[in-house]
């Protein structure tokens, strides 16, 4: 029987992996390595603005829609 902390850690890893894949699918200019280096949601928004030339507001809206309230980045 798996203990609850290892199950929680596995779920966290799976969630991070799923989010990373979704980010790469939406914004193909980002590699998995790029995404793993993002520190938090604000960093992702900043990079979307930088790489795709979107406005800050549009990038924030797009990131919020993709994440759907899920945590992203260090400690997620």
The DSSP secondary structure of the chain, one letter per residue, reads ---HHHHHHHHHHHHHHHHHHHHHHH-TT--HHHHHH--BHHHHHHHHHHHH---HHHHHHHHHHHHTT---BTT-
> Which tens digit of pLDDT belongs to each residue from 28-71?
999 999 999 999 999 999 999 999 999 999 999 999 999 998 88
Q: pTM here? A: 0.80
CB 34 within 8 A of CB 41: no
CB 38 within 8 A of CB 73: yes
Which pLDDT does position 72 carry in this prediction?
A: 84
């Amino acid at each position: 029987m798996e203990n609850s902390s290892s199950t929680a850690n596995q779920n966290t890893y799976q969630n991070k992996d799923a989010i990373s894949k979704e980010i790469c699918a939406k914004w193909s200019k980002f590699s998995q390595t790029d995404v793993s280096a993002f520190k938090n949601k604000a960093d992702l928004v900043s990079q979307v603005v930088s790489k795709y030339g979107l406005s800050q507001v549009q990038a924030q809206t797009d990131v919020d829609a993709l994440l759907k309230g899920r945590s992203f980045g260090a400690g997620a």
